[in-house]
Structure 1
Amino acid sequence: MAEAPDLSISPEKVCFIIVKARAFEAKDVLTDPGDSSNASDDGMRAVLEDHGDDPVRRELVGFIRALNEDEQVDLVALAWIGRGDGDADNWDEIRAEAQRAHNQRTASYLLGEPLVADYLEDGLAAFGLSCDEFEEGHL
């Protein structure tokens, strides 16, 4: 396990994104877009569907967009390491590539990765970092 680099993004912020991404990933495809039933009548199933105006997605996108460029670059690099595109020993090269690829669509890019929460968690783990000590209410 490599020593953790001096990350621009705090592990707490990464863990917040992981928690929110897991909530977003749990959503199912929209099954009845024209459904006009009362939520209490259908057992609140629509809450688990992926609607375009999903509040969890909006919160996650807003949070990622509010990060500065260095934080966004680190976030992408951590996801790449967690996905297996390199390892912790290659941090400088992976981060440099993430810097070259950076654009204004970091949130869309990351949310387009179906396992982004796992990738970020694995990226942190590559450096011996964990979200175990962070609770959602303390981030």
Structure 2
Amino acid sequence: MADLATLQAPSLDDMEALAQDAYARLPAEFRALCEGVVIRVEDFPDDDTMREMDCETPFDLLGLFRGIGLAQGGAMMQTGQFPNMVWLYRRPILDYWAEHEEALGSIVTHVLVHEIGHHFGLSDEDMEAIEAAAA
């Protein structure tokens, strides 16, 4: 058992590593379609994002897809366009983890798949199948 007296919360770098591991475990066909999607980890959403997403607190949002999804015709990047990005928010994810009986890696995978799923316009059932394949 880990020494709980010295245990620390996962850092931004730790969460980035969890996200990269989760991404690497996604089905190869799914990852091939994600070419160019950038994954970023921050502690919280910025103030503009909180206003745009109508968040009451910084803990309301676990992740966010920003960009032009394939479902909206965003397959080809245009000059001057930012890359499609998935943001994972460390502190809200850790707060969710503390309140639920799920492994942190499973939560990160769920948020990542859900946000990338927006890129493809996938249904909840499609995203559940991708998550199951990554487990």
TM-score band w.r.t. shorter chain = 0.3 to 0.5
Higher strand share: 2
Q: Considering Cα pairs closer than 8 Å and 6+ residues apart, tell me whether 1 or 2 has the greater RCO.
A: 1
What TM-score results when the alignment is normalised by the length of structure 2? Answer: 0.33
- Please tell me whether Structure 1 or Structure 2 has the larger radius of gyration of its CA atoms: 1
